[in-house]
Amino acid sequence: GAVVSQHPSRVICKSGTSVKIECRSLDFQATTMFWYRQFPKQSLMLMATSNEGSKATYEQGVEKDKFLINHASLTLSTLTVTSAHPEDSSFYICSARDVGAGGTEAFFGQGTRLTVV
């Protein structure tokens, strides 16, 4: 299947700083990417849908000014956690649709473990 690369896999940052997480589709073009958040021992919660060349669509309850999403190209979406606080510590996972292959399936990155200290 198609490969989605997420970077970094782990990051520790100080409270109040910003962190950027990258999600790349390596061998396909992705007009749509999705960002999920997973708290320990819980399920994945969709945060936002990232659309290439347009604004992201955020799910209810997700602060768009805190979680900035940029999808500037067909192979890259970034999630920036601004002014991070310890409660933002979580596992963040992205996924991307391979529109060229019909787009029926999304492929997932390996996730980013964010720890805010």
Partner 1 sequence: AQSVTQLDSQVPVFEEAPVELRCNYSSSVSVYLFWYVQYPNQGLQLLLKYLSGSTLVKGINGFEAEFNKSQTSFHLRKPSVHISDTAEYFCAVSDLASGTYKYIFGTGTRLKVLA
Residue 64: CB atoms within 10 Å? 13
53: contact with partner 1 by CB under 8 A: no
106: contact with partner 1 by CB under 8 A: yes
List, as one string, the DSSP characters of 56-106.
-EEPTT--TTTEEEEEEETTEEEEEE-S--GGG-EEEEEEEE-GGGTS--E
Size of the site for partner 1 (CB under 8 A): 26
104: contact with partner 1 by CB under 8 A: yes
Residue numbers at the binding site for partner 1 (CB under 8 A):
1, 6, 32, 34, 36, 41-46, 49, 57, 91, 93, 95, 97, 103-106, 108-111, 113
